[in-house]
A and B are shown apart, each in its own frame.
Chain A
Amino acid sequence: MIAFVDVSKSWGDNQVLRSLNFDVAPGEKVSIIGPSGSGKTTILRILMTLETPDDGVVTIEGEPLWDARDGAKPKETKQMRATRRKVGMVFQSFNLFPHMTAVQNVMEAPVQVLGMSKDEARTRATDLMELVGLSKHLDHKPPQLSGGQQQRVAIARALAMRPKILLFDEPTSALDPELIGEVLAVIRDLAHSADMTMLMVTHEMRFAEEISDRVVMFDSGTAVEQGPPHKIFKDPDHERTKLFLRAVLER
């Protein structure tokens, strides 16, 4: 479904991805864990075309998204834009459009990009708002909603584009502790019911353990270790993983 082949990315002297090779199977739910600044988020941002890789190739369903082979500067092409439509993203800071109501946020892209009629888009947006438990908040503007509610609208907005791949970039990190549960519940339902491929960067270890098919431990621009959650969390091979988990779980 997703393939990273020898992908590298640097910010000045800081190499956030080192010749990364990484595949995700269709429908697979993968969690990426690891210390801050280890390049986890960069993986998602490259898939969403918010960052450009310095080197390597990224494909989605075999179609090229980025081609930076031998360090060639990749271009934004029609092909890339078409491929990008298969991907949706939920951001750490929600990034809802604050001047539009919740339902307008969800309707905007289906109408503008998929060419759906307004009525159809509204019906679908209403269904999605119900799915995330916010059918009473259709006409609220984001500033009137709690962080947890905003993030649920953001999930509905991403789902409205019917992505084959949904990326979650620390979806609960900006939330007050008491609001985290409602967002995780929505993601959990999606993970169990949808055949979407899901890729999540998270610090919620128990949640990652519960919903993931595979957990990837990331550090210093490479996947240090990966495997099924029970293996990574209960019996990790790498010293780096053990140290990280001990630090995080004993918090």
Chain B
Amino acid sequence: MIWSNEYAIDILPQLLGGVWVTVQVTLLGMVVALVLGLVVAVTRFLKIPVISAAFTFYVLFVRGTPLLVQAYAAFYVLPSYGITFSAIVTGVAVIGINYSAYTAEVYRSGIEGVPAGQWEAARALSLPQRRTWTKIVLPQSIRTIIPVLGNYWIQMFKDSAVLVAIGVAELMLVARTLGSDDFRYLEPLTIAGLMYLIVSYTASLIVKATERRYAPTQ
């Protein structure tokens, strides 16, 4: 098979459409993962009976099963219980929930990294529990974990290709469909690979910049 520039330019618009979906899924998925992971992590620290234990199981369960299985389950099994969403909403939810189990663990390490003296100072000043979390503990923990969260975000870009399995029209699905329709896989897959690379690299630059901006002051 010989590379055809003409064909490559021909399919570019469709692939760009696929990238756009990938970017959207990953941005929204990351928002879900960041918010849900934070709720899970903080709740586990608060040691609320039953709920904290349930979240511990949640982390264990989500981390212990493959993303692909979760995607299939959400897309093919839930509808038989009357729960249906579009492929893209399911995709965002599945990848967001999957990653929330990981971000919850990252938040946990960040929270544990805040020195006991910070909690003690807050208590000595009678700061309310809520204020201690939002203004003292979380700002300090999040600064230290930005690089790790950023890595998960970049990994999510690549993992989003799994959503091809449930028909989310993201980059991988577009590339595969083009390949099978035109019997040419070289150009779509090569360009898709490059696009993943460009997007991940851009994301890593954004992470680096954020890291610098919020780096803990030494």
Contact = CB atoms under 8 A, between A and B. Distances in A.
Do they bind each other?
A: yes
B100 interface: no
B217 A143 contact: yes
A198 B120 CA distance: 19
For chain A, give the interface size range: 20 to 34
Contact of B120 (A50, A87, A112, A141): A50
A98 B121 CA distance: 12
Interface residues of B, number: 20
Interface stretch (B12-20, B122-130, B156-164, B175-183): B122-130
Interface in B113-135: 115, 117-118, 120-121, 123-128, 131, 135
Chain B contact surface mostly: helix
B125 A108 contact: yes
Contact of B126 (A93, A99, A109): A109
B123 A112 contact: no
A2 interface: no
Interface in A207-240: none
A81 B123 CA distance: 10
Contact of A97 (B121, B124, B128, B216): B121
B183 to A, nearest CB: 58
A93 B120 CA distance: 11
Contacts of B127: 108-109, 112-113
B123 A48 contact: yes
A94 B218 CA distance: 16
Interface of B: 115, 117-118, 120-121, 123-128, 131, 135-136, 139-140, 143, 216-218
25 contacts: A48-B120, A49-B123, A50-B123, A50-B124, A81-B126, A84-B126, A85-B126, A87-B124, A91-B121, A93-B117, A95-B117, A95-B120, A96-B121, A98-B140, A99-B139, A99-B140, A99-B143, A108-B135, A109-B125, A109-B126, A113-B125, A113-B126, A143-B218, A144-B217, A157-B125
4 closest cross-chain pairs (CB), A and B? A109-B125, A95-B121, A95-B117, A89-B124
